[in-house]
C-alpha cells in the first residue's frame, strides 16, 4: 500500500500489470493466476511497521514466487491472440524486472542487512545503494543499529525479609555486531528479557524491603553489568536498565503509610520539645546576660563613686593644706599673732552664744568667763605648731 507522496513499490507495479493482463482472460485461468499472485506477493499487513521491538527473523525467499508470477503473466499474454506475439519479449522483460528488483537494494541509515550466499554467511550490507546476486544471495536478517527500548514484563520478587514485591523495568539496547546478532542466539530479545528478570530477582533477594526503594541505582548498575557481559556473544550492547515500578502488597502499603504517619507525628513532638527547650535556654541566657550586665553596671557605678569620693577627699585635703599653709604664713607675718588672738576670741564668743540654743547635755569648763586665759591657751598651741618652736619639756615621773 502506497501513499500519495510515495512512489509505487515493485509489488504494486506487478499487481497493476497483472490486473491489466488478466482483464480479458477466461475466468478459470484468471482464478488460477490470482491464487498464484496471492501466494507470491506479501500482504499489506505483513509490511506494516511493528509497534513492539522484536528480534529479526530470517527473511523468506521471494525470488521464486516472482518468477512464477512472471511466467504466469507471460502465459496469460500468450493466451490472448492479440498479444501472443509479445509473450516472449514480455517474459524476458518480466524476468529482467524481477532480477533488478531482487538484485538492487537500498539500505536506510542506521540499518544493517545480513547477506547469505548459498545458505552461508557472506557479508553485512551497509546503508546506501547495494547490489546482490539474485538466486545466489539473499537477505537473511535485517537489523536496526539504533538504540531500542523495550519493556521487561512485571514479575514478583521476594526480598530478604520475605516480602513480595512486584517489579517491572525497561531495557535500552543496541545491536553492535549484526553477524553475532543473527547467529549468536535464536532470539536475543527473549534472552535479554529472561536474564534481566533472573538478575532482578537475585538482586532484590539480597535487600530488605526498605532498602530496595533507595537502591534503584545500584540495582540498575548490577543488571546492566550482567546483561552487557552476556550480550557480547549476542552482538548486542545493553546501554541502560531502569526499574519502573516497585509495588508491594496492599497490606504492606497500609503499614508503610501508618509508619510514615507515626514518623511525622514523632518529628512534630520532637520539634515542639526542641522549641520549648530552646525557648527556656534563651530565657535563661537572657536572664544571665541581664544579671551580668547589671552587675557590671553596679561595679562601674561603685568604681565611679569611689573615684569621685577619692578625688573629693584629695581636693579637700589639698584645700586644707593650702589653708593651713596660708594660716602658717599669716602667723609668721607681722601682726599675725594678734589677728589669730582676735579670730579665736570671735570664734569662742560665737560658739558660746549658740550653747543655749540646743537641748544637748554639754560639759563646759568652769572658767567660761576667762576668755583671756582660753585665748592664751590656744595661742600657746599655735606657738608650739609654728616652725622652729621648742617643744615643752617632758615632766619627770
Please report which confidence band the pLDDT of residue 252 belongs to, taking 50, 70 and 90 as the band edges: confident
Cα torsion at 365, 367, 372, 378 (round to 10°)?
-20
Least confident interval from 22-26, 91-95, 199-203, 291-295? 22-26
Sorted by where each begins, the domain ranges of the chain are: 10-143, 148-248, 333-354+366-391
Phi, psi of 328 (to 5 degrees): -65, -40
Q: Which of 6-10, 116-120, 319-323 has the lowest mean pLDDT?
A: 6-10
Contacts of 92 (CB under 8 A, 6+ apart): none
What value does the mean pLDDT of the chain take? 77
CA distance readout (Å), 176 to 92, 143, 188: 42, 10, 13
> What pLDDT does 358 receive?
59
Q: Residue 48 in 3-state DSSP? A: coil
pTM recorded for the entire structure? 0.51
- Whether 242 shows a pLDDT value over 80: the answer reads yes
Structural domain 148-248, CATH architecture: 2-Layer Sandwich (3.30)
Q: How many helices (H) and strands (E) does the chain have?
A: 11, 8
**Quick one: pLDDT at residue 45?**
39
Amino acid at each position: 500500500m502506497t501513499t500519495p507522496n510515495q512512489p509505487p513499490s515493485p509489488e504494486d507495479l506487478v499487481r497493476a500489470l497483472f490486473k491489466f493482463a488478466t482483464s480479458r482472460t477466461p475466468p478459470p485461468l484468471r482464478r488460477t493466476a490470482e491464487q498464484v499472485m496471492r501466494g507470491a506477493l506479501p500482504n499489506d499487513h505483513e509490511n506494516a511497521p511493528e509497534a513492539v521491538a522484536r528480534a529479526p527473523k530470517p527473511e523468506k525467499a521471494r525470488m521464486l514466487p516472482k518468477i512464477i508470477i512472471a511466467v504466469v503473466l507471460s502465459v496469460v499474454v500468450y493466451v490472448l491472440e492479440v498479444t501472443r506475439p509479445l509473450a516472449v519479449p514480455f517474459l524476458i522483460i518480466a524476468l529482467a524486472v524481477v532480477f533488478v528488483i531482487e538484485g538492487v537494494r537500498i539500505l536506510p541509515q542506521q540499518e544493517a542487512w545480513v547477506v547469505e550466499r548459498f545458505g552461508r554467511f557472506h557479508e553485512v550490507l551497509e546503508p546506501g545503494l547495494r547490489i546482490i546476486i539474485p538466486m545466489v544471495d539473499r537477505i537473511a536478517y535485517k537489523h536496526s543499529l539504533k538504540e531500542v527500548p523495550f519493556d521487561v514484563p512485571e514479575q514478583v520478587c521476594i526480598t530478604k525479609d520475605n516480602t513480595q514485591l512486584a517489579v517491572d523495568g525497561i531495557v535500552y539496547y543496541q545491536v553492535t555486531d549484526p553477524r553475532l546478532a543473527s547467529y549468536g542466539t535464536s532470539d536475543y530479545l527473549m534472552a535479554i528479557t529472561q536474564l534481566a528478570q533472573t538478575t532482578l530477582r537475585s538482586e532484590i533477594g539480597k535487600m530488605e524491603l526498605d532498602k530496595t526503594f533507595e537502591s534503584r541505582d545500584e540495582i540498575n548498575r548490577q543488571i546492566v553489568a550482567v546483561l552487557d557481559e552476556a550480550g557480547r556473544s549476542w552482538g548486542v550492547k545493553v546501554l541502560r536498565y531502569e526499574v519502573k515500578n516497585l509495588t508491594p502488597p496492599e497490606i504492606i502499603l497500609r503499614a508503610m503509610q501508618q509508619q510514615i504517619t507515626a514518623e511525622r507525628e514523632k518529628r512534630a513532638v520532637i520539634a515542639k520539645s526542641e522549641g520549648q527547650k530552646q525557648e527556656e535556654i534563651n530565657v535563661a541566657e537572657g536572664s544571665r546576660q541581664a544579671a551580668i550586665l547589671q552587675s557590671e553596671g553596679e561595679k562601674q557605678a561603685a568604681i565611679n563613686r569611689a573615684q569621685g569620693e577619692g578625688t573629693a577627699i584629695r581636693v579637700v585635703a589639698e584645700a586644707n593644706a593650702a589653708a593651713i599653709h596660708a594660716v602658717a604664713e599669716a602667723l609668721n607675718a607681722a601682726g599675725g599673732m594678734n589677728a589669730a588672738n582676735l579670730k579665736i576670741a570671735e570664734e569662742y564668743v560665737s560658739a558660746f552664744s549658740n550653747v543655749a540654743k540646743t537641748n544637748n547635755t554639754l560639759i563646759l569648763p568652769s572658767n567660761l568667763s576667762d576668755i583671756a586665759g582660753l585665748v592664751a591657751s590656744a595661742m600657746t598651741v599655735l606657738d608650739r605648731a609654728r616652725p622652729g618652736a621648742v617643744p615643752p619639756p617632758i615632766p619627770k615621773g
